[in-house]
């Protein structure tokens, strides 16, 4: 079954999903924890992160527990990233562009030429 929204499943598909969820409780728990995190990211609900971390730590398998602990280590920054509308994408894109230019010109050109290329290239 693909990642179809639960509301769009037919009655037989919904019944089969229930059978699978009851048969594999560990996978069901992992899916529920992952869905909760996806909802926080998708809907920019960073303020709910701590509420997600608490149940994720004891219920989830090791990799997910580790992820939850990792997020908790810098909770303020992660919460801000999942809540605030600002992103560092533009700055990171420019840093990447400068690094590519530096690699391409390494050992071939002077700093002045590198500076000119950085400042004049869009």
Concatenate the DSSP letters of all residues of 48-108 into one string.
Answer: GHHHHHHHHHHHS-HHHHHHHHHHHHTHHHHHHHTTSS--SHHHHHHHHHHHHHHHHHTTT
Residue pLDDT, tens place only, 33-66: 888 899 999 999 999 988 888 876 666 777 788 8
pTM, two decimal places: 0.60
Which residues neighbour 121 within 8 Å (Cβ) at sequence distance 6 or greater? 97, 101
What does the pLDDT read at residue 1? Answer: 40
Q: Read off φ and ψ for residue 54, nearest 5 degrees.
A: -55, -55
């Amino acid at each position: 079954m693909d990642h179809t929204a639960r509301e769009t499943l037919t009655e037989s598909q919904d019944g089969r999903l229930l059978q699978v969820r009851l048969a594999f409780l560990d996978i069901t728990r992992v899916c529920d924890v992952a869905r909760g995190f996806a909802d926080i990211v998708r809907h920019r609900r960073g303020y709910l992160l701590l509420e997600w971390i608490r149940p994720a730590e004891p219920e989830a398998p090791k990799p997910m527990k580790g992820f939850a602990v990792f997020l908790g280590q810098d909770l303020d920054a992660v919460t801000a990233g999942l809540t605030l509308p600002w992103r560092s994408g533009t700055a990171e894109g420019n840093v990447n562009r400068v690094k590519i230019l530096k690699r391409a010109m390494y050992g071939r050109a002077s700093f002045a030429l590198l500076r000119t290329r950085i400042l004049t290239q869009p």
